[in-house]
Structure 1
């Protein structure tokens, strides 16, 4: 009997915000899955419909918040395949307890996110956005927009995974930056491959001219950058967040910027999203904002969808899927081929 797949990720986009391939490509990917499974390409309208649709599904391709109530109604669920980096909308611990494999597609988005981090660093250091606005408003006062060089500055990277590693390599090779990194899950040998030195979080904050936050959102990383951490930074330093808004305490960041505790910030993500109209961050000249688009490139979107579908096919063929978030579930899934480990 074929397994059942519910694939909201492959449904055509609805609304203004779209990070999906065009409908022709979505149809092609859906047909690929249909060669191996019974596939329903559909986006449930509300939580009630979600709970109804998920009851006999084996594989979820994309989807909503996955909590205990959702999982209680998904008694046949085996695999959740995400179509992006983040998985903070999924109760991974509960999935693990039930033997449900959770996968993302992390590596593919690493390149555009790393590029975006450098773009924010360059914008902050050279004040490009401010200068552009001034020119459009009729000003041509060069000295008003005196910047700083990135060359041989110290870059601190919090989270030296695929994204953090790419940021380290690019910054070192392009600007000869000294790279400090904080990541309790990375060995010194791996850090050396990126030209980075592992240090404590406090040392990184004290020594860095730019601090890039690149960690997943977990209970341990939520608000990991607060008032204490911001106070440790140089007054001339900039904070850049390209991971999840909730990793930084928004109120503490506003306080730090209003009181010149740090020089500025580049934020692709905020908490909440979008910011309310009266949020002080929207009125600060030393803050560069982008609407959670660090991963948004045509190349990355197409490759991500293709790779996610291929990963589902791997699982359907009895192979170990890639990018498993909760690898402990493999010990509960003896039907997967051991020669693919």
Structure 2
């Protein structure tokens, strides 16, 4: 009998075909599935494909047959890896396929904030270009080329950002990471710094760290105080890495020049959040990997992980904490 799997993501037909070839696939019609409904569905499934359902002890107690959870994302902060490990449940994710796409977006954010693209685009569309006091120096921004970029978290995406910075924009690359990255140092001239040193020396600060209990709120008031008044802060990893109130205050007081954000403490961002009314903030709706090709590749990788984890007949991307 084919293993039974629950798919909680919209997938391209090719990914569905791959799963159906090897598994009995359950695909709920609801866009938003309640926890009660989920509990009823998981009682006899062998696998789940998702990217946001919290996989914790409570859910695992209801899913007695569960063998694998395939996340269609590179992140897996929805996994209680200790609880999964204790029950022998595999957890997989989709690294590599989105690295360059997210790095592209990081540079879009850098350029948009430095050259005030959304702000000045709005000015032109409102017919204010050419009004008294609305031209010349009033439109000045910051150069990106030959500036110093500081990357907090030199993983695969961090290295893709470093490559663009060094080879495309002739930037000096600094990085802070748990371990040194000799290959990046050799390839891009990247220089290792402590977090405090990086914040003090960088013109553009890119946060690309994973979310863990140690990294939550890793950037706080005291860190913004160390940044240059001309610094641009970019976050395209997780909103919970930052004390958002401290960021808002740093922007309001012009302690830093600007911020460019793809992620927030609460998502979707609440309508009254001050970040939405500040002219020196670029805001995007968490679209780091949102291109057709990358999302297709992520879906196929997640489907392959799901099938491979059940059949044990192909390589899969197990999250580091659950690798044996």
- TM-score when scaled to structure 2? 0.92
Residues 101 and 327 of structure 1 are in contact (CA less than 8 Å); yes or no, is this contact kept in structure 2?
no
Aligned to 1:18: none
SS at match of 2:150: strand
- Unaligned 5+ runs, structure 1: 11-20, 331-341
Pairing 1:121–2:110 present: yes
SS at match of 2:263: coil
Alpha-carbon distance change, 319 to 194 in structure 1, aligned in 2, over 3 angstroms: farther
Trace 1:199-278 onto structure 2 (pairs within 5 A). Answer: 199-278=193-272
Trace 1:168-183 onto structure 2 (pairs within 5 A). Answer: 168-183=162-177
Residues 265 and 288 of structure 1 are in contact (CA less than 8 Å); yes or no, is this contact kept in structure 2?
yes
2:86 to 77, 97, 104: 97
Higher relative contact order by CA 8 Å / sep ≥ 6: 1 or 2? 2
- Note the C-alpha offset of 1:273: 1.7
Residues 215 and 241 of structure 2 are in contact (CA less than 8 Å); yes or no, is this contact kept in structure 1?
yes
Aligned to 1:29: 15
Pairing 1:108–2:97 present: yes
Aligned to 2:45: 57
- Note the C-alpha offset of 1:165: 0.7
SS at match of 1:108: coil
1:315 to 302, 309, 312: 309
- Note the C-alpha offset of 1:194: 4.4
1:47 to 9, 28, 35: 35
Trace 1:324-339 onto structure 2 (pairs within 5 A). Answer: 324-330=318-324
- TM-score when scaled to structure 1? 0.87
Residues 55 and 80 of structure 2 are in contact (CA less than 8 Å); yes or no, is this contact kept in structure 1?
yes
- Aligned length, in residue pairs: 316
Aligned to 1:333: none
- Unaligned 5+ runs, structure 2: none
RMSD: 1.8
